[in-house]
């Protein structure tokens, strides 16, 4: 039984707790949150020992792996401490607040030999993994152009309003848009050139649109979290190939050719746990990424998807987008 220690039981920590409750062969053994109520909710049904500050868990809990779901500005401090204790560590995305922090995490991981996965969950999201396979297969020819979009109401749930303070979260670009940046880099590699525009409201950058120029195709990536609370969250894409267009949007996950419009079916998993609030209705990619993480830890194998190095590279690319023409 793999023993999990979860630090931070807010929106994402609770989501992770639900995933662990659904993964066979793992036990949520310890949880930590400054808010006792949130920790109790995450621990419910597991018998997990409850701690307050994450450092108490790191110092005292009997766990094999640690999962950090703290606000981004706390990732580095807690991850460095956790690397002294466990050989497998999961850190939510974005990996850190600054590129320098990202580099310090890589240095510490090299010193300790800790295996680290970053919560770049889109790499594990079913529609996006199917799309990646289609791109790699070349079955519809080359990519001609692509668009990825992630738009959200204002994220008002953060502990002490950390999310809407770009000094602690990095703003919409670093917190939200990084999902698509990371995915595009993982599928298409580094672009040969890019152009980026953004705007800022108060302390937070709230809108970003980046055009990535590849050798023979272009990708645009748009993100914002400045929509009214009544606006639905949307994560969508359209990839135009020479012989077909694959789209995930208002009509569902679709394959269009000149002669047909077909739904691409995704097999849904049976889930036992309940899903907490927020803008995500399904454990989907969260379950997939954590099931992969636990499997690697149980088998004592290296992490080779959503690695620390990849998470830091994506963070650095977003930083370049943010400083483009600034
Ligand atoms: N992968 C995704 O799709 C996704 C979605 C949302 C958030 N996230 C990421 O997850 C991380 C957490 O975000 P969130 O939305 O859950 O934030 P949140 O504010 O809902 O939760 C953070 C929790 O940390 C707790 N906390 C703060 N300091 C602590 C400490 N020292 N010790 C123990 N607990 C402490 C708070 O009480 C709070 O419950 C962030 O890095 C965020 O970017 C990822």
Residue 205 pLDDT: 76
Return the axis-axis angle of helices 36-43 and 11-22, rounded to nearest 10°: 20
Protein residue closest via CA to atom 39 of ligand 1: 10
Average pLDDT for residues 66-78, to the nearest whole number? 98
- 35 and 60 Cβ atoms separated by less than 8 Å: no
Grade residue 311 by pLDDT with cuts at 50, 70 and 90.
very high
Q: At 98, list the tokens.
A: 């600054």
How many angstroms does the Cα of residue 174 sit away from the middle of ligand 1? 15
Q: Which residues line ligand 1 (CB under 6 A)?
A: 7-13, 32-35, 38, 53-54, 69-72, 74, 92-93, 119, 121, 157-159, 175
- 275 and 18 Cβ atoms separated by less than 8 Å: yes
Q: At 161, list the tokens.
A: 């309003």
Q: At 35, list the tokens.
A: 């808010």
The pLDDT mean for the chain works out to: 93
Nearest 5°: phi and psi at 77? -60, -45
How many angstroms does the Cα of residue 68 sit away from the middle of ligand 1? 8
Q: Give 175's DSSP letter.
A: I
pTM, 2 dp? 0.95
Average pLDDT for residues 218-227, to the nearest whole number? 95
Residue extent(s) of CATH 3.30.360.10 domains in the chain:
122-269+307-323
How many angstroms does the Cα of residue 14 sit away from the middle of ligand 1? 9
Residue extent(s) of CATH 3.40.50.720 domains in the chain:
2-121
pLDDT tens digits along 260-285? 999 999 876 655 444 444 333 456 89
How many angstroms does the Cα of residue 122 sit away from the middle of ligand 1? 18
Residue 278 pLDDT: 37
Q: 122-269+307-323, what's its fold? A: Dihydrodipicolinate Reductase; domain 2 (3.30.360)
Residue 276 pLDDT: 44
pLDDT tens digits along 284-293? 899 999 999 9
- With tokens 């002669």, the residue in question is 259
Q: Which CATH architecture has domain 2-121?
A: 3-Layer(aba) Sandwich (3.40)
Nearest 5°: phi and psi at 130? -65, -45
Protein residue closest via CA to atom 5 of ligand 1: 12
Grade residue 22 by pLDDT with cuts at 50, 70 and 90.
confident
Percentage with pLDDT > 90 across the chain: 87
CA-to-CA dists, residue 291 to 20, 24, 93, 243, 314, angstroms: 8, 9, 17, 35, 23
User: Which secondary-structure segment (H or E) carries 66?
Assistant: strand 65-68
């Amino acid at each position: 039984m793999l023993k999990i220690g979860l630090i931070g039981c807010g929106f994402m920590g609770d989501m992770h707790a639900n995933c662990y409750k659904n993964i066979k062969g793992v036990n949520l053994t310890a949880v930590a949150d400054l808010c006792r109520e949130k920790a109790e909710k995450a621990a419910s049904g597991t018998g997990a020992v409850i701690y307050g500050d994450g450092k108490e868990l790191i110092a005292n809990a009997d766990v094999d792996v640690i999962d950090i779901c703290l606000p981004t500005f706390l990732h580095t401090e807690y991850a460095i401490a956790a690397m002294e204790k466990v050989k497998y560590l999961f850190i939510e995305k974005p990996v850190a607040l600054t590129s320098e922090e990202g580099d310090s995490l890589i240095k510490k991981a090299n010193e300790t030999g800790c295996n680290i996965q970053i919560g770049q969950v889109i790499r594990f999201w079913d529609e996006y993994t199917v799309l990646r396979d289609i791109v790699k297969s070349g079955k519809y020819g080359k990519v001609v152009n692509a668009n990825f979009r992630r738009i959200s109401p204002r994220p008002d749930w953060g502990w002490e309003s950390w999310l809407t303070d770009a000094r602690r979260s990095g703003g919409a670009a670093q917190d939200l848009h990084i999902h698509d940046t990371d995915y595009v880099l993982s599928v298409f590699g580094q672009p040969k050139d890019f152009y980026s525009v953004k705007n800022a409201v108060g302390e937070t950058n709230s809108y970003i649109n980046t055009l990535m120029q590849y050798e023979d195709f272009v990708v645009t990536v748009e993100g914002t979290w400045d929509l009214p609370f009544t606006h639905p969250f949307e994560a969508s894409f359209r990839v135009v190939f020479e012989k077909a267009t694959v789209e995930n949007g208002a009509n569902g996950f679709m394959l269009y050719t000149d002669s047909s419009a077909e739904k691409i079916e995704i097999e849904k998993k049976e889930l036992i746990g309940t899903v907490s609030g927020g803008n995500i209705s399904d454990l989907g990619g969260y379950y997939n990424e954590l099931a992969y993480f636990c499997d690697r830890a149980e088998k004592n194998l290296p992490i080779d998807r959503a690695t620390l190095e990849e998470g830091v590279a994506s963070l650095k690319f977003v930083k370049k987008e943010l400083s483009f023409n600034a």
